[in-house]
Amino acid sequence: MSDASPVVSLFVRSSANPLVSVLIPAKDEAGNIGQLVGEVDSALRPLCSFEIVLVDDGSGDVTAAEFVQCCTALGAPAQLIRHQVSVGQSTALSTAARHARGRYLVTIDGDGQNDPADIPALLRQAQAMEAGGVHFCIAGFRHKRMDTEWKKIQSRIANAVRRRILDDGVPDTGCGLKLIPRETWLRLPYFDHMHRYIPALVRRLGGRIAVVPVNHRHRTAGVSKYTAWNRVWVGIVDMIGVRWLTRRSKQPVIAQVEIIGEI
């Protein structure tokens, strides 16, 4: 996997690793990014240490400049990674995760339809789940979708097909707002479109899934990059591959570890 010759800029207030890294994949989202960054800063600054990691996936507009300007004005700790050419949302998120420094990774779409005000609820759920093991995923559920009727129909079809094939325990895997420990993410297999199957891939590790209802908003700028074709039909092949991975995985139960001599 290539980062397509990224350029990395850092605006970090502290050398200490933050608790949360907010990962934003974006292509041609000027007009949305500035407001989104401000909302992330407002939601997290009173609660915990954080950083914002934006991967500009080959934008042809001023997405990156808007991000830098807003982070600088707010004093928000951030990283900007720019892909030379567009390689898709999954690869953009993978790039962001590998550069992120936080204990928890929060993914959020760059179009502004996810509400950063919901991130604290995901964090509260994460703290409740930590005692049960290292691997888990908290998935947002857009219980009141603010999309066209046609787009809602597409999403219902996609979710029905996914549940039939994967039975991953989530009603709305298309919601971009999710929380996953960085340690868990780095153990997930990478492939194109993998961001749509994160809950199923976490369950493959023996991890637990929680669902949190979240807000959903109208897009105010730009256009959607998704259609019925790339949401459903192309994804069927990916779902079959994820199902195969899941069925072929084994989680050993360690009965004992014995250390002899010095290590």
Whole-angstrom Cα distance, residue 232 to residue 57? 22
Indicate the helix (H) or strand (E) that contains 158. helix 149-166
Quickly state the pLDDT bin for 225 (edges 50, 70, 90).
low
pLDDT in tens, 16-36: 899 999 999 999 999 999 999
Q: What is the pLDDT of residue 143?
A: 73
Residue 52's nearest CA partner among 125, 113, 4, 105 is: 105
Specify whether the CB–CB gap between 14 and 46 falls below 8 A: no
Quickly state the pLDDT bin for 256 (edges 50, 70, 90).
confident
Per the prediction, the chain carries an average pLDDT of 83
Tokens of 113: 């339809």
- Which range among 142-146, 180-184, 229-233 has the greatest average pLDDT? 180-184
Q: What average pLDDT score do residues 2-18 get? A: 57
Whole-angstrom Cα distance, residue 103 to residue 50? 10
Percent of the chain with pLDDT over 70: 70
Task: Report pTM.
Answer: 0.79
- Which residues lie closer than 8 Å to 165 by C-beta, 6 or more apart? 236, 239, 240, 243
Q: Strand 178-181 vs strand 20-26: parallel, antiparallel, or unpaired?
A: unpaired
Q: Please state whether 9 falls in left (phi above 0), alpha (psi between -120 and 50) or beta.
A: beta
CA atoms lying within 13 Å on the CB side of residue 223: 3
Q: What is the pLDDT of residue 206?
A: 87
Cross-strand pairs, 81: 8, 55
Does residue 45 have a pLDDT over 60?
A: yes
pLDDT in tens, 145-191: 655 666 666 666 666 666 666 666 677 777 889 999 999 999 998 88
pLDDT in tens, 55-84: 999 999 999 999 999 999 999 999 999 999
Residue 5's nearest CA partner among 88, 78, 95, 67 is: 95
